[in-house]
Structure 1
């Protein structure tokens, strides 16, 4: 199943044959999940009698199922096929029953039974995930590789040479200030009786501190953050991007655990891909600081506060890492593009794809 683990979509296996829960080092790094203090590396025994090395254990990682938070202690280890494996320690703690026949997971809770239904395949869909393909190969299914040759007619084209870019050059300018006020700013609704949560800043290396200072100054200059005296305070950390640069991440796990979840649906990938049949021209639009284009309700700004070596700050625009941010942004995108959705536009959160059957049609759509 695909679940939110630490706020990021992950391929998850419910494994009653595993005594513990596991997460791959790659998924842990991408999700900003680190081994908890005092947890040392070691070895674990796997099926077949072999051993896998471990890089520690991350405690209290948020697992979101049907809008409910069910934290798990995840051993960081290079397990195969899945990003995360939920073993017997987690399954027994949450009183889980695996209904393999119906493809669902049942939680027997004091507050009442919770049933999570796995995604059933769409009739006629020809799309499978890479993990499903790998599993089929392991079972002995035959497969073949098809080489797709790409036309290089657009190679070397400069953005400024594209006619539609010239006609709408103003929308490609950098976001220099705060977004316009909206009738529905981003809000953070807390569970009743919640007290402010504040955590000690994480230790950073000198290079990280230099980058932190630089990024804080940039956010202040743009007006995205401001100094704070809030009783709330989340720690920050860095995740290294593929290009070697650092992405600043706010560890909002404490706030997310006490936030009332927004259940606005995200689109299914296979349904989005089905819309592209017959199209031959595509343009992908990247939004400049997409999340930062949504202001936060003034009453909730204090809840976004984060603590650093260089001071206490809070966001006045929607930051990354909040549990309801993807749903809020998806709702905004659907409202903006409603009349074009599944006509010549598909959207997944902040990824916008315009598709057309001809070059002339594509110019009109853009």
Structure 2
């Protein structure tokens, strides 16, 4: 099987680079990989796991997730010991199956942190246009032809006011 890496792409939403998105090999199957530093776990689409050999194992405890379409799901299965091939290097990865469209894997912090991976969004910043943002395409008359770039850095003040002798909310 010839293993080629497709060109890097950036998923742009509202002018911001959200995730690194590339095609690599997972368990000898070409898949779209999203490296997402905001995901605590790594996930695999139900479509892709149908092509995996072997049955999934059980998680130590069920996990509840909120999906992008505002649905909440609870999962109790995991595919352990899968192989993620990146530039001819192979890495073990455990992935939780969830409903995603197509051959998609979301690589989360449970893999990124132990492997010292860093998502360098500065090198891949693209200028977003109306055609790059799915929801914006439906309402082109509301948005400018070219979306503005990254907003300026702003200092944010965060403060929690404590009340003396207050009891904890949960015990």
- Using structure 2 for the length normalisation, give the TM-score: 0.55
Checking the alignment, whether the CA contact within 8 Å between 1:22 and 1:79 is kept in structure 2 is no
Counterpart-to-counterpart distance in 2, 1:53 and 1:74: 14
Higher strand share: 2
Alignment of 1:152-167 (within 5 A): none
**Which one of the candidate residues 135, 149, 161 is aligned to 1:139?**
135
Is the CA contact 1:16–1:91 (under 8 Å) kept in the aligned structure 2?
Answer: yes
Higher RCO, Cα 8 Å, sep 6+ = 2
**In structure 2, distance between residues paired with 1:138 and 1:81:** 17
1:88 and 2:109 correspond: yes
RMSD: 3.1
Match of 2:34? 13
Deviation at 1:55, TM superposition (A): 5.6
Structure 1's 81 and 7: CA in aligned 2 closer, same or farther, altered over 3 A? closer
Paired with 2:101 and 2:73, the residues of 1 have a C-alpha distance of 11
Q: Which residue of 1 aligns with 2:64?
A: 44
Q: Distance in 2 between matches of 1:24 and 1:54?
A: 13
Q: Contact 2:34–2:107 (CA<8 Å) still a contact in 1?
A: yes
List gaps (5 residues or longer) in structure 1: 105-134, 143-366
- Alpha-carbon distance in 1 for matches of 2:67, 2:45: 17
Q: Which of 1 and 2 has greater Rg?
A: 1
Greater helix proportion = 1
2:52 paired with 1:31? yes
Deviations 1:250-300 (A, max 9, x none): xxxxxxxxxxxxxxxxxxxxxxxxxxxxxxxxxxxxxxxxxxxxxxxxxxx
- Give the deviation of 1:24 after TM superposition: 1.0
Distance 1:102 1:56 in 2: 36
1:62 is aligned to 2:83: yes
CA contact (8 A) 2:59 2:77 kept: yes
Deviation at 1:78, TM superposition (A): 1.0
Q: Secondary structure at the match of 1:34?
A: coil
Secondary structure of the 1:11 match is strand
**Partner in structure 2 of residue 270 of structure 1:** none
How many positions carry a matched residue from both structures? 112
